[in-house]
Amino acid sequence: MKNRLKVLRAERDWSQADLADKLQVSRQSVNAIETGKYDPSLPLAFKISRVFATPIEQIFSDELEAPS
């Protein structure tokens, strides 16, 4: 699954640790999600969506479709 986490984070000038803090997960988790090595669960994906105030489908997309 592809995601725009890194871009959204950069737009807000947040470090991985800042985002991890807001999501209440480890920095390693944020890094693994950003690099596409780990796909978050649905509850975590919704939490990410809330933190960025961005619809989930604008953050995540499957491999066939680029995120909008």
Partner 1 sequence: MSCEIPDNMKEAGRRYTWRMLGAGVFYMVVVFAAVWVIRRSGMHLPQWAVVLISLTPVVPALVMMRIYLTFVRQMDEFNRRIQSEAWLISAGVVGFGTFTYSFLEEWAHFPRLDLVWIFPALIFMWGLASFFVKRRYQ
Binding site for partner 1 (CB under 8 A): 17, 20-21, 24-29, 31-33, 37-38, 40-41, 44
Nearer to partner 1, 14 or 65 (CB): 14
Residue 34, H or E segment: helix 27-34
Nearer to partner 1, 48 or 68 (CB): 48
**Dihedral pair phi/psi, residue 30, rounded to 5°:** -60, -45
Nearer to partner 1, 36 or 55 (CB): 36
42 contacts 27 by C-beta, under 8 angstroms: no
